[in-house]
Amino acid sequence: SHHFHFPEESTGNIFMYLLRLALLTFSCLFWAAGLAIFSLGVWAQISLSDFMLLSANRYPNAPLILLSTGAVVTAWGFLGCLGVAAKLPCLLRAYGFFQLAALIAGLAGGLSGLFYREDIAGGFRSGLQRAVAGYTEDEGRADALDSLQRALECCGAEGWRDWLSSDWAIQHIAFPSIENGTSVSLPDSCCMKRKGCRNRPLLSDDNEGVVSAGIHPHGCFRKVFSLVNDNVFHIAATVLGLAFTQIGGIALACMLANRLEPRENQQVVGH
């Protein structure tokens, strides 16, 4: 076969080369994003299990969803690279369709996080209250609550007073021991020091008195809620940003697939 090098054809080749390079770069980025989501899933599985356990709402297992999404995205990113390298239009088209699915899923996830924030928060609040009330009954939930109170340096759902009406407090009842104050008993995870909070003298029940007694004055719900509220916008913004880059990936994949199709059907139109 003879090759005639018209200037248009060489610019076409340069365009093809740039298109392949762009899609290859994009696929590698997508692949890296898949790995990042996968490692985020591993991290969530390890560190967010307490939060999941304490919520009253039954959510689908978010860490597992992250793990599986990460694995699938990683595999598809690799397929995209393969499609570019092997010049397979069918693989590129499939890759484009997958990008579209990922885009829709990402948008749905990001937006539902924003819309259902209050609902998620409400479920967490009632879950915390339930964990405080049933501290003596449910070992798993009690351990989760202890590790949460230690990690966030908080005490109770709304505050340390939640413990005073719990079954646990009734079992560890404290008798008034000082002339002008009372003494309280709280779980060890509510204490700033590891000595424990049994029969702690409490001179005044304002924040200063509570802090000087060595008790964390803030409730866990506020801390978790502000943590989620601060981060949910960043997460949603990142997801939306990723979604818009995926539109670029879909366009690139489809353009390249079209250019790689056999040329019989394509008529060269002279200008």
CATH number assigned to the domain comprising residue 179: 1.10.1450
Model-wide pTM > 0.85: no
Q: What's the pLDDT at 2?
A: 47
Q: Which two tokens stand for residue 37?
A: 């989501």
* One domain, residues 110 and 158: no
Averaged pLDDT for residues 228-248 = 72
Q: How many domains does the chain have?
A: 2
Residue 270 placed within a domain: no
Q: Where are the alpha helices (DSSP H) in 87-198?
A: 89-115, 117-133, 139-152, 167-171
pLDDT band at 211 (very low <50, low <70, confident <90, very high): confident
State what percent of residues in the chain have pLDDT above 70: 76
Is 97 a residue whose pLDDT tops 60? yes
Closest CA to 13 of 261, 191, 260, 203: 260
Residue partners of 82: CB distance under 8 A and separation at least 6: 88, 91
Residue 90 placed within a domain: yes
Lowest mean pLDDT among 19-28, 79-88, 144-153, 234-243: 234-243
| Strand residue runs (E) in the chain | 182-186, 197-202
* Cα–Cα distance, 258 to 92 (Å, whole number): 10
Q: Which domain holds residue 176?
A: 128-221
**For residues 124 and 223, is the Cβ–Cβ distance under 8 A?**
no
Is 187 a residue whose pLDDT tops 80? yes
Main-chain dihedrals φ then ψ at residue 181, nearest 5 degrees: -150, -170
DSSP 3-state of 182: strand
* Cα–Cα distance, 109 to 242 (Å, whole number): 12
* One domain, residues 247 and 212: no
Q: Mean pLDDT over all residues of the chain?
A: 76
Q: What's the pLDDT at 270?
A: 45
* One domain, residues 191 and 256: no
* One domain, residues 24 and 110: yes
Residue 1 placed within a domain: no
pLDDT band at 9 (very low <50, low <70, confident <90, very high): low
Residue 247 placed within a domain: yes
Higher pLDDT, 183 or 190: 190
Higher pLDDT, 63 or 154: 154
Closest CA to 157 of 229, 230, 57, 224: 224
Residue partners of 104: CB distance under 8 A and separation at least 6: none
Averaged pLDDT for residues 150-159 = 90
